[in-house]
Structure formats: C-alpha cells, structure tokens
Amino acid sequence: MTGLQHIQQNLNQQRQLLRHAQSVLPEDLAIHCLHITARKNQMTLFTDSSVWASKLLYQRQLILKALSKYLGAPAHTLKVKVLPKQRETNKALPKLPSKNALKVLSEANHTELTDNLSMSMNKLIKTLQKNKLSEY
C-alpha cells in the first residue's frame, strides 16, 4: 500500500467514524460535527464553535457508545476541539485612483520647497502614478 493509499484509507475511516457519531445526535447538533480522529481508544471530535463544543461534551457518553459499537472496541475518551474559522486569503486590494484623479491632484498640489505637506503630497502622487503604471 502506497503512502497516498494509506492516507486515503485513514480519511475514509475518519468519515465513517464521523457519520456514526453524527447518527446518534440531533440534527442541529450533528451538523456542527466537522471531523473526528481516533488514536487507540481516544477520540477527538472537531466542531465550529465553543458553544457547540460544550453541547457536544454533554453528549459524550452517547457518542462514545456509538463509536465503541462501530469499532468493536471500547472508546474510552472523547475530546472536543474547536477548529478556527478559515480566513479569507484573497482580500481585495485597494483601488488605485484613476489617471484623471491623479492629474487633478497634481494640478491642485502647488509644491513649495518649504511646505512639508505639499512635498509629502507630491511624493504620494508620484508613488500612486508608479503603481498605476505597474498595474498594466
């Protein structure tokens, strides 16, 4: 058996365990059971929030009984862990001002060598113009 086949077999077993755990729970609780792992006689059930984790812990004996029956061996302990929510990885980048907006800003900014605000604004406009050009 190759490494990939072993992983696939392990995932299938975990899916079956999860289905058995979910089958003995009320539907509103079962849908919050996301994944389960088994190591020897210790089960770890993953859920999506601490509220559901607490409710699942109250059902610990029921879940352990169902898993023991499925496995044909006693499952002694059940831990419930909360999976952190997945963060959005492709956040939208800020929009760059249009060429027309940059032109208006440039015309409105009268740079004087002693005026810090005007010099800073001029640097910002030049940076935005460079970024606008590299966008294409």
Q: What is the pLDDT of residues 83-114, one digit of tens each?
A: 887 666 666 667 778 888 888 888 877 666 66
* Beta carbons of 82 and 97 less than 8 angstroms apart: no
Q: Give domain limits for the chain.
A: 8-82, 99-135
The number of beta carbons lying within 10 Å of the beta carbon of residue 110 is: 9
Entry pTM: 0.60
CATH of 8-82, one of 1.10.3260.10, 3.40.50.150, 3.30.300.180, 3.40.50.2000: 3.30.300.180
Q: How far is CA 108 from CA 43, 99, 122, 126, in A?
A: 67, 14, 10, 14
Q: Each residue of 27-70: pLDDT tens digit?
A: 999 999 999 999 888 999 999 999 999 999 999 999 999 999 98
